[in-house]
Chain A
């Protein structure tokens, strides 16, 4: 059976049935779809059908007809549905291009401005990507109860604001599209930058972000330079997914075996960046993709064109100043042995504002002090990094760094 068939099928079927019956019935629809999978798990126990996808689709169609009865009954409408005609109509919704369209609409609904960022991500992962609440909780490092509440709030807003499965008005489409891209970017980063013990779920998140991006790219009207740039960026990052953690240990960029980077994704990323060039718009995604491309271009870590990377970071900072760009710039300066510049940059960052990620700042300080021949300060900084780091894999990485540091006499 195709990998993730059920998960992807879930998203598709939820979108189709939501289009038929309306988002107001989302909960009912999700339960019904879940039930078709449970049925399959019983009915297929001895042998799978020749075409599992067709089986699931047919089951969902049958469910749709059941649901129609159920919903009509809820509405207290006792008029009889003409089943022949209804079935014909339902078939229309299951045509490929209709399915795609329904899923795109769902993606736009997920990014509705009435939802908070957290609700948007949880909603997208549930309704479009078919993650369970437990899986979302694991993926986002939250409690299951928290995710449950977020989803319930989103559903409530759908009811209260009467949100329908439609594209936003022409005047709002650009804002919404950029929100959609941000959500895709955030979902990817959740998977890429986190280092959970459960790596599988991280890869799934990255895969979903790529898939959603591709879903958008199918429609000509949504294509833009920044969407292609985003897709390219995700491809480049994703190509390194398997090289980042080896044998349960973090391997940093410097020490990654570059021959293990996934070449087809790099090609796909390159292609996307070339397409991005054909549009006139510019975005932070272009610059981030360009930086990722610089790393990929370098055959060895030592060949990295750091000056080019600094230039890109400077451009990014102009567009959207942030502490994380400052930190990246400081790390780049350290690679260039521009120690004074690195220190100056680090001193402008507010450690408290970085909250959970402050260990990154302390870790970079440690590297600065070590390079600058101040082992006492370096040790103090790495200890601070270790004590503020909550992730066991990252902590191990820092401990190993500490072990490799020269101790003061």
Chain B
């Protein structure tokens, strides 16, 4: 799983032109993974959220972290190793905007 961390486009103040350019890059990446048959799933997340924590189940509204640490979404893709996954993640479009990709292996549950 590739988890995308970084400020939202809203926060970054991207122009319509830049938003379109970034989107084009997301499409290109998604299409590439689909063509290779490695894309398994994914989602984009809104910045707004709610948290429940602790034994008292205290509920609070975000933001919970600094905007640059915000999780914006994830993709799951098939890869045999972290090295291979890191290669796939090279196409993530937001590095130049300060974005980060965290790669985590998804646990396969026993049936």
Which of B10, B14, B30, B46 has a CB less than 8 Å from the CB of A132? B14
Q: How far is the CA of A218 from the CA of B30 in the complex (A)?
A: 40
Q: Across the interface, do A38 and B20 meet the contact criterion of CB distance under 8 Å?
A: no
Q: Across the interface, do A7 and B23 meet the contact criterion of CB distance under 8 Å?
A: no
Given the interface pairs A45-B30, A45-B44, A46-B30, the reply to whether A6 lies near B10 with Cβ below 8 Å is no
In the complex, whether B24 has a CB less than 8 A from a CB of chain A is yes
In the complex, whether A10 has a CB less than 8 A from a CB of chain B is yes
A: residues with CB less than 8 A from B are 1, 4-7, 9-10, 34-35, 37-38, 40-48, 130-135, 204
In the complex, whether B73 has a CB less than 8 A from a CB of chain A is yes
Q: Across the interface, do A41 and B27 meet the contact criterion of CB distance under 8 Å?
A: no
Interface residues on B, range: 20 to 34
Main secondary structure of the interface of B (DSSP, over half): helix
Q: Across the interface, do A4 and B23 meet the contact criterion of CB distance under 8 Å?
A: no
Expressed in whole angstroms, the minimum distance between the Cβ of A215 and any Cβ of chain B is: 18
In the complex, whether B19 has a CB less than 8 A from a CB of chain A is yes
Expressed in whole angstroms, the minimum distance between the Cβ of B27 and any Cβ of chain A is: 6
- Kindly list chain A residues whose C-beta atoms are within 8 Å of the C-beta of B24: 1
Would you give 13 A-B contacts (Cβ < 8 Å), ordered by A?
A4-B20, A6-B17, A10-B16, A40-B23, A41-B19, A41-B26, A45-B23, A45-B30, A46-B42, A130-B15, A130-B17, A131-B17, A134-B15
Q: Quick one: which of B4-36 are within 8 Å of A by CB?
A: 8-10, 13-20, 22-24, 26-27, 30
Given the interface pairs A46-B30, A47-B30, the reply to whether A5 lies near B42 with Cβ below 8 Å is no
Q: How far is the CA of A44 from the CA of B23 in the complex (A)?
A: 8
Q: How far is the CA of A134 from the CA of B23 in the complex (A)?
A: 19
- Kindly list chain A residues whose C-beta atoms are within 8 Å of the C-beta of B14: 132
Q: Across the interface, do A7 and B73 meet the contact criterion of CB distance under 8 Å?
A: no
Q: Across the interface, do B15 and A132 meet the contact criterion of CB distance under 8 Å?
A: yes
Expressed in whole angstroms, the minimum distance between the Cβ of A252 and any Cβ of chain B is: 30
- Kindly list chain A residues whose C-beta atoms are within 8 Å of the C-beta of B22: 41
Expressed in whole angstroms, the minimum distance between the Cβ of B104 and any Cβ of chain A is: 19
Given the interface pairs A44-B23, A48-B27, the reply to whether A6 lies near B44 with Cβ below 8 Å is no
Q: Across the interface, do B19 and A40 meet the contact criterion of CB distance under 8 Å?
A: yes
Q: How far is the CA of A132 from the CA of B20 in the complex (A)?
A: 13
Q: Across the interface, do B18 and A132 meet the contact criterion of CB distance under 8 Å?
A: yes
Q: How far is the CA of A38 from the CA of B23 in the complex (A)?
A: 10
- Choose among B14, B18, B23, B46 the residue with the greatest number of A CB atoms under 10 Å from its CB: B23
Q: How far is the CA of A204 from the CA of B16 in the complex (A)?
A: 13
Which of B17, B23, B30 has a CB less than 8 Å from the CB of A41? B23
**Considering the complex of A and B, which 10 residue pairs feature the smallest CB-CB distances, nearest first?**
A132-B15, A6-B16, A6-B20, A10-B16, A42-B44, A45-B44, A7-B17, A7-B16, A130-B16, A37-B19
Q: Across the interface, do A42 and B46 meet the contact criterion of CB distance under 8 Å?
A: yes
Which of A5, A7, A46 has a CB less than 8 Å from the CB of B15? A7
Q: How far is the CA of A46 from the CA of B99 in the complex (A)?
A: 18
Q: Contact mask B35-63 → A, CB, 8 Å, 1/0?
A: 00000001010100000000000000000
